[in-house]
Structure 1
Amino acid sequence: MGTPLGDFVRARRDSIQPAELGLPERGRRRSPGLRRSDLAARAGISVEYLTRIEQGRDRNPSVAVVNALADGLSLDSAERGHLRYLAKITGGECVNHTRPAAPAREVRESVRRTLRLLEPGVALVTNRLGDVLAHTDAFAAVTSGSGLLDTDHPNLTRYVFTDPRARTFFTDWDEVADERAFDLWLGPSVENAEWFTTGLAPVAGPEFTRRLNRHTVPQRGILRLRHPSGHELSLVRELLELPEDAQQLIVFLPAEETTAAAVEELRSRADGRLRVVS
């Protein structure tokens, strides 16, 4: 049985061509990417030990080994952070007996007040699972007609993978799908993520499972939306972590004047009231 850490190391190794690291090609291979022997040599560990990590038979590599693997794979800062996080949760899997459960949905009053101050801006409070916990009217206007907020308990991740309208609404659906799958590894907790993915996987199918297990670290660039009204929106995302609540406050800002005008038109229909999703 594999582990998140082993899956990530193997996925990154498979995605690297030897030439990218200045290594010679050694003939045809049955599988793509970097050989185990090459990565082991670059990281200064044995092939046997690397195999145990990738297959999940070693769940507690030292900090030095984790850093050596990051160097060997030429990971960037975001990927290194994810590797360290996966090493942490993989090491805890053997002793973690907490029953999977849904995360809390309450939004603190001070956070709600902050959202009110952001009106008439486009903003929401969510968690890493994608639960939409509170939002401004402008957010409702920007997503109107997309189906995202049609349910009693809207969830961005579930919407992306199960609602056909999402593939039209998100211009760069593939990138958004990778973001949603990646964020499940970050919380609100390992137990919450297990609870969520267990329920989502059967309805989302292999598309979701494949993205979840390949650990693609997202770039989180411009978010582009194709609004049902015909407007093409380009939005910059500013994110404020709320670690006390395992939640995030996300503000969406127009990336250019055309989007600013379109957002103004859409949000002019809003009634100016903050909505909290219970």
Structure 2
Amino acid sequence: MGTPLGDFIRAKRDSIQPESLGLPDRGRRRSPGLRRSDLAARAGVSVEYLTRIEQGRDRNPSVPVVNALADALSLDPAERGHLRYLAKITGGECIAHTRPSPPRREVRGNVLRTLRLLEPGIAVVSNRLGDVLARSSGFESVTSGTGLLDTERPNLTRYVFTDPRARAFFADWDAIADEQAFDLWLGPSIENSEWLSTELATVAGPDFTRRLNRHVVPPRGVLRLRHPAGPELRLLRETLELPTDDQQLVVFLAADEQTAQAVEQLRHRPGGRLRAIS
């Protein structure tokens, strides 16, 4: 049985052309990408040890080995961070099996006060599973009529993969789907996200599971929204991590003057007030 760490290393190895690393073309290969022997040599480990890591038979590689693999794969900073995270949770899987528990939904008072200071801007407090825990009136304005906030406990990940309206709302739906699937790996624990992953795998099918198992670090560029009222919005995202709460505060900023004007028009439509969901 494989592990997230092994899956990621194998996927990255398969995606690399040897020529891009200055390695000679050795003819036909049984699988695409970098040979296991070449990666092992670049990382300074044995082929047998690398095989054990990729197949999940060694779940606790040392920090130097993880760093050597990152160097050998020429990972960028975001991918290196993901590799280290996967090494951490993969090692934890064989140490303890805790009972699945949902992440906390309460938003601290000081975080809510900060959110109010951002009014009438566009901001939301969420967790890595996509639960919308608190939002500003500006966030409600730009998502009104999309179906995202229609449920008692709105969840962006579930909305992206199960609500047909999401494909119309997100101009770059594929990129957003990649982001939401990737973020499930960044939850407080594997147990926290397992229940949601299982649910989505059933209703969303391969569209979700393929993204979840690719371990591709998303670029998170400009967010383009097609609002039902007509205007297309281009928003920049600034994220404030709240590590003690396993939550994040995301602020959305207009990327151009046209978006700023469209957001102002949406604010004058009937909207809601700041709301915290617990």
TM-score (normalised: structure 1) = 0.97
Identity score, percent: 78
The answer for the alignment partner of 1:157 in structure 2 is 157
The answer for the alignment partner of 1:122 in structure 2 is 122
How far is the alpha carbon of 1:28 from its aligned partner?
2.4
Point out the more displaced range, 197-206 or 90-99: 197-206
Task: Give per-residue Cα distances to partners, 1:47-66, cap 9 Å, x unaligned.
Answer: 11111100000001111110
SS in 2 for 1:214: coil
Does residue 171 (structure 1) correspond to residue 167 (structure 2)? The answer is no
The answer for the alignment partner of 2:221 in structure 1 is 221
Task: Give per-residue Cα distances to partners, 1:215-249, cap 9 Å, x unaligned.
Answer: 11111111111111221111000111111211101
Determine if contact 1:124/1:251 at 8 Å carries over to the other structure. Answer: yes
Determine if contact 1:137/1:270 at 8 Å carries over to the other structure. Answer: no
Structure 1: gaps spanning 5 or more residues = none
CA distance in 2, matches of 1:236, 1:270: 24
TM-score (normalised: structure 2) = 0.97
The answer for the alignment partner of 2:98 in structure 1 is 98
CA distance in 2, matches of 1:170, 1:272: 22
How far is the alpha carbon of 1:254 from its aligned partner?
0.2
In structure 2, relative to structure 1, the CA distance for the partners of 1:181 and 1:272 (3 Å cut) is closer
SS in 1 for 2:200: helix
Point out the more displaced range, 163-172 or 266-275: 266-275
Task: Give per-residue Cα distances to partners, 1:250-274, cap 9 Å, x unaligned.
Answer: 0000000000000111112255621
CA distance in 1, matches of 2:163, 2:250: 22
The answer for the alignment partner of 1:148 in structure 2 is 148
SS in 1 for 2:107: coil
Structure 2: gaps spanning 5 or more residues = none
The answer for the alignment partner of 1:233 in structure 2 is 233
Q: Partner amino acid for 2:137?
A: D
How far is the alpha carbon of 1:200 from its aligned partner?
2.1
CA distance in 1, matches of 2:45, 2:173: 39
The answer for the alignment partner of 1:203 in structure 2 is 203
CA distance in 1, matches of 2:272, 2:155: 23
Determine if contact 2:89/2:189 at 8 Å carries over to the other structure. Answer: no
The answer for the alignment partner of 2:274 in structure 1 is 274
The RMSD of aligned alpha carbons is 1.2
